[in-house]
Amino acid sequence: MREMVKRPGGHRARRIVGCILLAVLMAESLLGTLSIDAHYVADAALAGRSTLFRTMIYLIRSFSVEPGIGACVTLGGFALLYFLPWLRATGLERGLAACFGVLFTFMQMIGWSYDTYGSWDALFGSRFILLRAAIIFAGRVLLSSCLVLYAFRLADRLTAASGGGAFRFSWKRYLLAAGLVVLCWLPYYILFFPGLGNPDTSMQIAWYLHYPTEWLQYSAVRGPEVYATNHHPYFTTLLYGAFAKIGQLLDGNIFYGVALYCLCQMLVMALVLTGVWFYLRRLGLPGRSCKVGLVFTALFPLCPLYAITMLKDTLFGLVCLTFSILLFEVARTRGERLKQNWFCGLLILNGLLVALTKNQGVYFVAAAAVFCLIFCRRRLRAAVSLVLPVVLFQFVWLQVLLPAWNVAPGGRQEVLGLLFQQTARYVVMYPEDVTEEEADAIRAVIDYDHLAELYVPTLSDDVKFTYNQDATEEELSAYFQAWARMLRRHPDAYLQALLHNVYGSFYLGHQTALSYTDFDNREVADYPELVVEKTPLLERVQPIAQILLAAVQRVPGVGLLFCVGFYPWVVLFLFLDVLRRKQYVQILAQLPAILSVAVLLVSPVSGSYRYAMPMIFMLPLLIGLRLLPDPPPQAPAGGEGETAAPRRPEGSRGAPEPTPGASGTDCPDEF
């Protein structure tokens, strides 16, 4: 601050003027609109005027509509900019903040355009539209970047202010805390008894019990002996089917089997989510922070709603969370934890569960294996612990067991869905620019003649399920060649198809159904014994629940927690923060969450909550790791993997501080 006082007055004046101008730019970017309605882009009074003149008039109008609000926003922007030097941000921090600002602003603006007009026309059109969008983009990038820099410093302050005392784990306290979480979740279980589920789950139960469904046609392997496919992970089919079978044995219906499964899953989920906070407490997170986290876990409605949902994504999210914890232990101890056989066995089992519960899970494990083999000391044990699950899944599960059980593989349409969406968008946008040869090539693979009616920009199912399962390699090759030629002619159609299909997963204004409110039986409606009937209580509760879940997304601030598009940006911020602080040890723990964000780029549904579930489950852990008071201590070389005692300042006297998790005569903080 003294340096600021000593600066020459002229330099200070220039800085103030610069801050004012940039603050006005910020205000214009927030007050301006991207609307392409005629009132904004085709004002008759400005006909014949230059683009620059029209843009200046537009900016003046935007600011003058509500001058009081404009002045307040400008003042706030000025304060952000004026005090920015006090943050003493490094060049790396400014660069990372700018990266975040550019990505975030682009997805919010493009998301608004697609959400409003179904295209990017609000950003890319006439010269006036382009110039207006560029000004708004620049102002919002500046604002976002400044806020990220302040968020970096806030995170540093929270970390510096925190300091957990010694901690001794207590099974009694852990089970009591988990029990209180279950108690808070129990009303949801009672209201939505026997539990919730989506059509995929009911279909999987039908497969296990050998009831034919129409989805069996979406595989290249078909026949009278095939009752199931790996389109939905067959491991979860076995799990759900086993509980459904228990229900049939109990009451001749799957009703109580579903109830038993949802109860068990709720208990397991409560134990895992509670365990996260005890684990963080052991690493040094203050007890107060852990208590706040536990309260959030107990009261955040989506936790119990998905805890009682019979859904593969819930299970996948849970095993990804435990996998993330194990990966962090590997990184925290620089691989020393891998010396313990029980830990390696646990890592193998968890990695196998990640691969078995979601078809893309094997790539999560493979990525973790590559990362560990590069950076961990004990590469042989890392290879056994993380490569072995991949080998078992790919060569034993997929190539031996599933064929032996007459389980058909999933169809190719799941991998090619994005390409089919791009083809459909091209046909909709440029129907006259498809040659006869290209049309024939497309027609051999998907239903070319009905693409215009089938194309839904935010859902690829309708197009991809027209895939010809009997298409030959030659026909697929011809399709890929046609796809490439069309890409060269109109790349904008392909890019728009991608953006329209994924924007909902990154746009804060996108609203989607947050949770299921009953057990969806549409896929098994023809089999009464497989239908989970609604209870009279659920009949009354369901409409209210649907209204509340829709309304909570509109609550300012709180609504972000119920917005799918909010969570990828938190993951990105935490990743950039790790790069900023060079705390690379946490990247391994973040890897499943980062890959979950990548999955959203190719997901078949725009903004679906269940596709974001792994990262949502992992965020409390990742935020807690960020708030640890010091870099996670390493285990002593050759030790048993226990946390090393914190280093005391030089010259300090007295007995050494107790190791987290160590017992002693001191009275440690027990949470």
Q: How do residues 121-155 score in pLDDT, each as one tens digit?
A: 999 988 888 999 999 999 999 999 999 999 999 99
Q: Is the pLDDT at 3 greater than 70, yes or no? A: no
Average of per-residue pLDDT across 354-376: 92
Q: Whole-number mean pLDDT of the chain?
A: 88
The distance from CA 502 to its chain's CA centroid, rounded to whole angstroms, is: 12
For the residues 58-78, what does the mean pLDDT come to? 83
- Tell me the whole-structure pTM to 2 decimals: 0.89
Same domain, 338 and 436: no
Q: What is the DSSP letter of 170?
A: -
Q: Band of the pLDDT at 633, cuts 50, 70, 90? A: very low
Per-residue pLDDT at 164: 60
Work out the number of other CB atoms within 10 angstroms of the CB of residue 140: 23
**Section 291-313 average pLDDT:** 95
Claim to verify: residue 442 and residue 485 sit in the same structural domain: yes
Q: Per the domain annotation, does 210 fall within a domain?
A: yes
pLDDT (mean) for 232-259: 95
CA pair distance 127, 135, nearest whole angstrom: 12
Q: Which of 113, 130, 161 is the last residue of a domain?
A: 161
Number of domains in the chain: 3
Same structural domain, 21 and 149: yes
Which tokens is 288 given? 């107060």
Residues 110 and 175 in one domain: no
Give tens-digit pLDDT for 518-530. 999 998 989 999 9
Whether pLDDT at 363 is above 60: yes
How far apart (Å, rounded) are the C-alpha atoms in residues 319 and 317?
Answer: 6
Dihedral angle at the C-alpha atoms of 252, 253, 258, 259, nearest 10 degrees?
-70
351 and 280 in a common domain: yes
pLDDT at 161: 66
- What number is the average pLDDT over the span 363-385? 87
Pick from 56-70, 124-138, 204-218, 538-552: least confident: 56-70
Confidence of residue 12 (pLDDT cuts 50, 70, 90): confident
In a domain, 383, yes or no: yes
> Is the per-residue pLDDT at 661 higher than 70?
no
Which pLDDT value is given to residue 511? 82
Higher pLDDT, 573 or 518: 573
Q: What is the mean pLDDT of residues 217-228?
A: 85
* Arithmetic mean of pLDDT, 255-268: 97
C-alpha distances in Å from residue 160, one per residue of 86, 148, 280, 301, 573: 18, 18, 16, 31, 19
Residue 639 lies inside a defined structural domain of this protein: no
- Same domain? 582 vs 489: no
Q: How far apart are CA 620 and CA 606, in angstroms?
A: 24
**What b/e sequence results for 519-552 when a residue is b if at least 16 CB atoms lie within 10 Å of its CB, and e otherwise?**
bbbebbeebeebbbebbeebeebeeebeeebeee
Is pLDDT of 476 > 90?
yes
431 and 303 belong to one structural domain: no
Integer-rounded Cα Rg, in Å, for the chain is 28
Q: Assess whether pLDDT exceeds 50 at residue 647.
A: no
Element spanning 196, H or E: strand 196-197
Kindly state the average pLDDT of the residues 561-573.
95
Q: How far apart are CA 373 and CA 83, in angstroms?
A: 44
Whether 148 and 55 share a structural domain: yes
φ/ψ of 518, rounded to 5, equals -160, -175
- 151: containing domain: 2-161
- 331 shares a domain with 447: no
528 Cβ contact partners less than 8 Å away, ≥ 6 residues apart: none
Say whether pLDDT at 637 is over 50.
no
Residue 589 lies in a domain: yes
Whether residue 655 is contained in a domain is answered as: no
- Reply yes or no on whether the pLDDT at 9 is more than 70: no
Residue 97: the pLDDT is: 98
pLDDT band with cut points at 50, 70 and 90 for residue 631: low
Q: For 79, left (φ over 0), alpha (ψ -120 to 50), or beta?
A: alpha
183 and 300 within one domain? yes
Q: β-strand 309-310 against 196-197: which pairing, if any?
A: parallel
Considering the domain boundaries, does residue 671 fall inside one?
Answer: no
- Of 101, 135, 161, the last residue of a domain is 161
What's the DSSP call for residue 448? G
Q: Flag the least confident range among 29-43, 440-454, 551-565.
A: 29-43
Residues 366, 473, single domain; the answer is: no
Residue 658 lies in a domain: no
Joined tokens for residue 588: 């391994």
| φ, ψ dihedrals at 214, nearest 5° | -70, -20
Between 55 and 211, the more confident residue is 211
Any domain includes 644? no
Is 202 in the same domain as 314? Answer: yes
**The token pair that represents 613 in the structure block:** 């579930």
**Which of residues 42 and 271 earns the better pLDDT score?**
271
SS3 category, 102: helix
Question: Residue 504's CB: how many other CB atoms inside 10 A?
Answer: 24
Buried b (16+ CB within 10 A) or exposed e, 40-72: bbeeeeeeeeeeeebbeebbeebbeeeeeebee
Find the mean pLDDT for residues 105-134: 93
pLDDT at 181: 98
